[in-house]
Amino acid sequence: MTLPDLSNWDDTRNALHQSLQVLRAARLLGVEPLPNELEYSTIPTPTGASTGPLNFGGELRLDFVQAAVIYARDGAEVFRVVLDGHSQTSLFDAVFAEFERVGHRLMPDRKKITETVPFALDKTQAATYAGVMWRMYGILARVKAHFYGPQTPLVLWPHGFDLSTVWFVDGMDEHRDPQMNFGFSPGTPDIGQPYFYFYAWPVPGGLPDRLPPLINWNSDWSTPGGFIRYDQFAGHDDPDTLVMDALVGAYNVASGMLKAGAAG
């Protein structure tokens, strides 16, 4: 099944991205530090993202389809704040005012909450992206099923608004241990549209020449890596399999090269 068009949706993407950073602030108050700073991440859901269980109770969700931030506890909704009419800063204030109203006096870090321009979110586009992101999550989950060895969960990062998982040759320290990162971004200025990406670190010599033909190479990233643009697969009859096969091929090639480098 082909994928829907994701052009001309920058305003909606930015609104969802900025709103996700409100969830990060709540998660940092309700989750203990985790390896590789995973406390800064959120958990993808079929309709958006969640903080997961918070140590003060419940979970905070960003629902793309309903265009709302929702706090739920014991399976019941406690409060919601709709995105319509808010900016990032006013949404942040409204959510934490609601927390206080229901008995949670929290002291969130607002250093990353700076945007004051009101959201220009299109609810149809937001719902469309919820479906796309969940399909992209499914592709990455199937790629991840081919990994053997230490690896991180597949999460949604508020900083870049990207899905991502990391596989390691050995150990699990992103600052030290050889690794591969696979993810999906809803778009960055350098690529100009959504895309899958991966990188291997340290970059094995000759890697670009051994990758599946669907994968483009970007030597300008801080760690050079491969990517597949949305327009390369969205119109395909079976985009999920097309992308999965290319990314698994990249994993098979690069993981073998990383293992050989670590052994040598």
Ranges assigned E (strand) in the chain:
43-45, 48-50, 59-63, 68-73, 76-82, 155-157, 162-168, 179-185, 195-201, 216-218, 225-229
Average pLDDT over residues 202-224: 97
How high is the pLDDT of residue 262?
A: 80
How high is the pLDDT of residue 264?
A: 65
How high is the pLDDT of residue 140?
A: 98
The pTM of this model reads: 0.97
Average pLDDT over residues 89-116: 97
Model pLDDT for residues 231-264, shown as the tens digit of each residue: 999 999 999 999 999 999 999 999 999 999 887 6
* Residue 63 DSSP SS3: strand
How high is the pLDDT of residue 261?
A: 85
Calculate the average pLDDT of the chain: 97
Q: Are residues 148 and 259 in contact, defined by beta-carbon separation less than 8 angstroms?
A: no
Average pLDDT over residues 156-167: 98
Q: Enter the tokens of residue 136.
A: 């992209």
Average pLDDT over residues 204-227: 97
How high is the pLDDT of residue 170?
A: 94
Average pLDDT over residues 23-37: 97
Average pLDDT over residues 83-88: 98
Q: Are residues 166 and 149 in contact, defined by beta-carbon separation less than 8 angstroms?
A: no
> What is the radius of gyration, based on Cα positions, of the chain?
19
Measure CA of the first residue to CA of the last residue in the chain; give whole Å. Answer: 44
How high is the pLDDT of residue 133?
A: 98
pLDDT > 80? residue 14: yes
